[in-house]
Amino acid sequence: MNTALRFTPLFVALSATIPFNAHAEDEKAEGFIEGSSLNVHARNYYLNRNQLDRGVRDNREWGQGFIGKFESGYTQGTVGFGLDAHAMLGLKLDGGGGTAGSSILPINTKGDGELGKAPDSFSTAGAAVKLKAFDTELKAGDLFLTNPVIAGGETRMLPQTFRGVSLTNNSIEGLMLEGGQASFTKPYNQSGHRRIDTFYGALPDDRESRHLNWAGMAWSGVPNLTSSLYASELKDIWNQYYFDLDYTYQVNELVSLNPGLHYYHTQDTGQSLLGHIDNNTYSLHFTVNVGYNSLTAVYQRVNGNTPFDYINQGDSVYLDNSQMYSDFNGPNERSWKLKYAYDFAGVGVPGLTSVVSYSSGKMDLTKVDPNSVGYGEHWYNAEGNDARHWERDFDLQYVFQEGSLKDLSVLLRWASHRGNQDYAQIDADVDEYRVIVDYPLNIF
């Protein structure tokens, strides 16, 4: 079923929720200049990805990123106007041709297909105009987006952005409505823009999707209960729908229980450039919090003979078993995870936290359609009926609590990923190390 989303009714519906009352102007921001802010974020990033079964190739790079964001207030009046602008600079501190390709710096491919040295620097800048009428805000230009169907990647040295238009409304307490369209993306490791593509799908003959439309809502109207519902259309590739539900039950002052669900349904649409897609993916989690300790159990399942796919380089994979290296989202994959987290404030060291987890997954790659346009070549394996893999992850983070270094954070991350012979064509055996130092600075 090819159902195309139509967004004109959405914008009309959102506009209709604006409460025209005489007191709304008094609640506006102070003014274009008076309500403005400028923040600079410095991020030092080291990534070492050691691919053990592919010639012991070591992808190792080190860089320094700077992200400056200016956000104006709104002009006075029934409709206020404003401007958001940003500039980003990435500097290479270390990384040669033999160790390139870690993903934090631009990839430089030589004529023979080998990776060359990344450039010494790369940069980008962008802006978005915005207007606000009461509780509705419209932005057009370069956007930082974060929702379950289109979220810019934030896990590398510089963030990913999108070029398009977005509309949000907060007229009803506890309910946020949003929608929009994005046509281009600026990946996190390059300067220029390109059309939006997908993480796993290989588009044929340089075909591309022209844009992604989305609409959704996030609800928090009941204490300790949150839910959201989203729909998106990646033109001529897929329609994707998302639902989540998360609840925290406070047993007493020391103990709380947190069950939750994330669910995606993806189906091909339009010209079906990646072929037939009919995929239902969900994850269930249950967390027990006791004081400064938490223990989480996760079960995740992909129902469909294509992987659960999402926007390339994006973070729009809101699944509980999406780990540092693998997302455990292969065709018909079933996976589970155990995670333990501890906050060292319990022993008098506020700001120090740790997380350790173990994930395991299994899938049958013989069920993949070998003729699938977008996924058959990479995922089909006639002998892959027992493809298994696992991953161990460990994070240790300290955030300075006071003094001149207040809010500076140091994050150490380690992941070890292994697969059996049936899984070998999908991914490498990898040990990955990351050292990330973040320093946010508020200028005004």
**pLDDT, tens digit (0-9, with 9 covering 90-100), for 190-209:** 999 999 999 999 888 878 99
What is the structure's pLDDT at 111? 60
Mean pLDDT, residues 174-193: 96
Q: Output the average pLDDT for the chain.
A: 91
pLDDT confidence of residue 159: 97
Convert the pLDDT of each residue in 265-293 to its tens digit: 999 999 999 999 999 999 999 999 999 99
User: Across residues 366-370, what is the average pLDDT?
Assistant: 96
CA atoms within a 13 Å half-sphere pointing along the CA-CB vector of 339: 24
Q: Which stretches does DSSP call E strand in 197-277?
A: 212-222, 225-234, 238-247, 249-250, 255-268
Residues for the chain: how many in total? 444
How many alpha carbons fall within 13 Å on the CB side of residue 413? Answer: 18
User: So what's the pLDDT on residue 181?
Assistant: 98
Share above pLDDT 90 across residues of the chain, in percent, rounded to a whole number = 84
pLDDT value of residue 30 = 73
Residue 223: Cβ-neighbour burial (10 angstroms; 0-12, 13-18, 19+): exposed
Q: What are the sequence ranges of the domains in the chain? A: 8-442
Q: How far is CA 391 from CA 361, 386, 387, 428, 431, in A?
A: 9, 17, 14, 12, 10
Contact call for residues 432 and 325 (beta carbons, < 8 A): yes
- Give per-residue pLDDT as tens, 102-139: 999 998 876 665 677 889 999 999 999 999 998 999 99
What one-letter code names the amino acid at 405? L
Partner residues linked to 360 by β-bridges? 336, 390
pLDDT of 96 strictly over 90: no
Worst-scoring range by mean pLDDT, 164-168, 211-215, 286-290, 421-425?
421-425
Does the pLDDT of residue 314 top 50, yes or no? yes
Q: What is the pLDDT of residues 28-54, one digit of tens each?
A: 447 999 999 999 999 999 999 998 876
| CB-based burial label for 104 (10 Å; 0-12, 13-18, 19+) | buried
For 63-94, what is each residue's pLDDT tens digit? 999 999 999 999 999 999 999 999 999 999 99
Q: What is the architecture of the domain spanning 8-442?
A: Beta Barrel (2.40)
- Tokens 């604006």 found at: 18
Rg of the chain on CA atoms, in Å: 23
Closest CA to 299 of 263, 265, 257: 263
